[in-house]
Amino acid sequence: MTDTTELEAFRGQIRTFLQNQLPPDVRDTVHRGQMVPRDRMLAWQEILAQAGYLVPHWPEQWGGRGWSVQQQMAFDEEMCTQGAPELSAINFDMIGPILMRYGSPAQQAQFLGAIASGRQSWCQGYSEPQAGSDLASLSTRAEHHGEHFVVNGSKIWTSGAQHADWIFCLVRTDREVRAQQGISFLLIDMASPGITVRPIVGIHGWAVFNEVFFDNVQVPLQNLVGEENQGWTIAKSLLEFERLKLARIGENKRRRARVLEVARSRREAGRPLTERPWFRQRFAELDARLLALEANAARFIRRAQSGKPAGAEVSMLKLRGSHLLQQWEQLTVDALGPQAMPFDAAAWSSQGAEAPTGLAAIAATASSRRFLSRGFTIAGGSSEIQHNILAKQVLGL
């Protein structure tokens, strides 16, 4: 889909669907910047699945619509600007495509339908306490014992592990070869004996990340994806598209709209913030950066549409997009001033007050969102790593 008129008609179709089908309570929760409760998120995913909008970028044989990269990026943007919660990239953009490309027929039959329905949740077992940006140094090991691997070790910063049904893990299966060559890719049932999940409550007050411990966990040999010791190749296979999505154009636009709402409601020296020079200057600078990010992303989308690899330079999208998200959140906090206090649900309840609405609702989670956004330049590959990739692979430094 390259015709502008066609793309706008496509966007209009998605917009109408969201306006009619997105539950108001979910929309309001997202607008306030709060976490959508798990049961409401699952209900929304069911609505999307029934309409064919949960995994539309998947091939039709696996329950998708075969959408192009351009359509998928447009869909994601409309989801954000219309107030829909962000979907799990781990489920729908990572493990699903990995199984399509590398999974056995039995693995595909077992998992892809459940993922596409939204009924099955996954988490990603990559980072470890001593293996973050240097992922190849991971030490969680898997050893052969009869018809099973026995897994021992731990993972950290595992998003959503406390709710996940399964985890896909990078594990070391050979310690005698070069680090990247001794890693395998395993699928592990989170209900397996020997798995312990310990939530990590961040400075923002939310339990987003977790530690996951493996103590003699038995994993059937048939849960190995691809060949043994080829896990590094599988792990790298989705990085280019992941970087493209991590520009998070829609999420940046959502935050832009929230900043404007605050600025139009707040007054300083008797004037709306939208008329104050300091705010206008900072907003204009971030707005220009967002326009540049969007234009740059469009260039990579066209490249992907033509079948060409995005190349290492796609890292610039993740680098710039994640920094911009942080800057929008900081501007929101600065615009709110003293009103930007962390939300204390217990305090609201104990005072007999109803949950805040309007500007007060945005202010109630502003500091939490600002702190949460600090992780955007670490997750998915830290900014330092993105700089290294661009310096070495693009600039030849």
User: Measuring CA to CA, which residue among 328, 180, 311 is closest to residue 255?
Assistant: 328
Collapsed DSSP state (helix, strand, coil) of residue 145: strand
Read off the DSSP letter of residue 37: P
- The CA distance from 76 to 380, in Å, is 18
Query: Are residues 164 and 199 in contact, defined by beta-carbon separation less than 8 angstroms?
Result: no
- The CA distance from 179 to 211, in Å, is 23
Give the dihedral of Cα atoms 339, 341, 345, 349; nearest 10 deg: -50
Angle at 190 between CA 185 and CA 192, to 5 degrees: 100
Collapsed DSSP state (helix, strand, coil) of residue 356: coil
Q: Pairing between strand 267-268 and 271-272?
A: antiparallel
Q: Pairing between strand 122-125 and 166-172?
A: parallel
Query: Are residues 234 and 226 in contact, defined by beta-carbon separation less than 8 angstroms?
Result: yes
- The CA distance from 29 to 217, in Å, is 38
Amino acid at 320: R
Alpha helices in the chain (DSSP H): 4-21, 24-32, 38-51, 69-81, 89, 96-102, 105-117, 231-236, 239-245, 249-265, 277-305, 315-336, 345-350, 358-373, 383-389
Q: Count Cβ atoms below 10 Å from residue 103 Cβ, excluding itself.
A: 22
Query: Are residues 350 and 326 in contact, defined by beta-carbon separation less than 8 angstroms?
Result: no
- The CA distance from 397 to 152, in Å, is 39
What's the token pair of residue 59? 């091939």
| 28 DSSP β-pair partners | none
Which residues are annotated as catalytic?
242
Amino acid at 150: V
Query: Are residues 17 and 56 in contact, defined by beta-carbon separation less than 8 angstroms?
Result: no
